[in-house]
Amino acid sequence: MVAKLILRDKEYEVRPGMALADALKKSNIVPESVIAVRDGELITDDEILKNGDVIKLVAVISGG
């Protein structure tokens, strides 16, 4: 019973029932540094993760 976060080639297993922002912090990922996608749709940091979710994380690149 896990939800998975995938960033590049790394997978992080997190507990279902927690908010995405909390799962990112627990996995040492800065929430503002990624965009989260579930089943092709963007999700927000307050989204509650469900058992079996696979969340793809896309790194946000900014510059100036």
- Please tell me the distance from the alpha carbon of residue 9 to that of residue 4, in angstroms, as a whole number: 12
- Please tell me the distance from the alpha carbon of residue 26 to that of residue 32, in angstroms, as a whole number: 14
Q: What is the pLDDT of residues 17-38, one digit of tens each?
A: 999 999 999 999 999 999 999 9
- Please tell me the distance from the alpha carbon of residue 56 to that of residue 64, in angstroms, as a whole number: 26
Mean pLDDT of the chain: 95
Tokens of 42: 């963007």
- Please tell me the distance from the alpha carbon of residue 34 to that of residue 41, in angstroms, as a whole number: 14
Residue 1: pLDDT band with limits 50, 70, 90: confident
Helix (H, G, I), strand (E, B) or coil at 30: coil
Whole-prediction pTM: 0.90
Go through the domains of the chain in sequence order and give each one's CATH number.
3-59 (3.10.20.30)
Residue 3: pLDDT band with limits 50, 70, 90: very high
